[in-house]
Each structure stands twice: as C-alpha cells, then as structure tokens.
Amino acid sequence: MIEKNKKKIENAVHDIIEAIGDDPKRPSIQETPARVATAYEEIFAETGKQHFEDYKIFNVAENAGMVLVQDIPFYSMCEHHILPFFGTVNVAYVPQNGKIIGLSKIPRLVDFASHRPSVQENITVMIADELQRILNPKGVAVSISARHMCMEMRGINKSGLFTYTNKFLGTFADDHELKNEFLQQTHQR
C-alpha cells in the first residue's frame, strides 16, 4: 500500500476515535491509527485484484483423482460493516490431463479471495472460478463454514451461528456420487 493511502487510513481512524468520544491523544491509544493502517494493509492486501497469479502448473498421472484440501482457516471482513467473518474452507478439484498446482497454492488462493472487503458467497465463488480458470480441471468444489461478527456482536446479536456456502463446477455439479464423496469427506453429509 502506498504511503499516501496508509496516511488516509490513519487520519480516518484518528477521526473515528474522536467521533466515538475517546481521546486520540490518550497515551495508550496514540499509536492506534498507525497500527490500524498497518493491520489493514495486511487484511485488505488483495483488494481490487481479480486474478490469482502466484502459482506454477505441474503434471501428474493423467487419471489422477480428486484432490481435497480441507479445513483451511480464513479471515475476511464483511463489506457491509467492515467487521470480521472467519471460518474454514474446503477446496477440491479433479485434475484434467494431469494438470495440478502446488498444494500450498490452495490456501494462498483462499487468502487471495478473502483479504479484501467481501461476502461469504463471493469468496466461495471466486475460489472456485479462479481454480477453474487456472487449471481447467474436470470439476471444482468449494465449501465455506463461517461465523460473522456483524451478526454476533451487534444487530441480531446471535452468537455461535455458522453460515454454510458452497459452489460446485463441472463434474462435481453433474456427478452425484462425486459430490457426495466431497460432502462426506468434509463432514457435510
């Protein structure tokens, strides 16, 4: 993030502190605007980026079966309240023509999709669509389970609610046995 934009965040946080009735000059809060700017730089690092580019393609056996990376933790901020929502993501795909990506790139793709203001449905779809674009696999399945602080600490104030979303492409959408295998492996059935 360029310095000018970090400064903008600092100024905004300074104003928020003042507006909520606290004193931005209070010693223990003085550095907070700068801390928030640094935190936002990390939390929102992928804002505005459409495509995940950090991967290499490898080749494996042509008939390789489902690859599933399960329980990938993620943290994001809802675009309505700028409050955290977080949980776990399951990502599966069936390679086509033996084309795969390194396993670590899947959690990286999850971070790519979640490090921006968003909603759970859009993160789910973005992960599925990017994997489809990158690998053109036979199918992709993505499911997310998350808790939303904007429903827990304000508004309806209901704690411990989990929201589930999923997206199935290609063979996962067409082949019920494969979809069931994914759902069973990820304890959704």
Ligand X SMILES: Nc1nc2c(ncn2[C@@H]2O[C@H](COP(=O)(O)OP(=O)(O)OP(=O)(O)O)[C@@H](O)[C@H]2O)c(=O)[nH]1
Binding part of the chain for ligand X, among 2-10, 14-22, 104-112, 115-123 by CB under 6 A, reads: 115-123
d(CA 13, CA 24): 9
Site for Zn ion in 136-175 (CB under 5 A): 150
Shortest distance (Å) from residue 145 CB to ligand X? 12
- Report the residue number, 124 or 186, with the smaller CB distance to ligand X: 124
Binding part of the chain for ligand X, among 30-38, 77-85, 128-136, 170-178 by CB under 6 A, reads: 77-85
- Report the residue number, 87 or 95, with the smaller CB distance to Zn ion: 87
Among 16, 29, 34, 119, binds ligand X (CB under 6 A): 119
DSSP 180: H
3 state DSSP class of 140: strand
Amino acid at the residue 89 = V
150: contact with ligand X by CB under 6 A: yes
Bridge-based pairing of strands 67-78 and 84-94 is: antiparallel
Q: Give me 106's structure tokens.
A: 């899947």
Tell me the HSE value of 176 on the side-chain side, using a 13 A CA sphere. 0
From the list Zn ion, ligand X, none, pick the one residue 145 interacts with, judged by a Cβ distance below 5 to 8 Å according to partner type.
Answer: none
Quickly count: other Cβ atoms within 10 Å of residue 36's Cβ: 19
Annotated binding site: 78, 81, 150
Annotated binding site for Zn(2+): 78, 81, 150
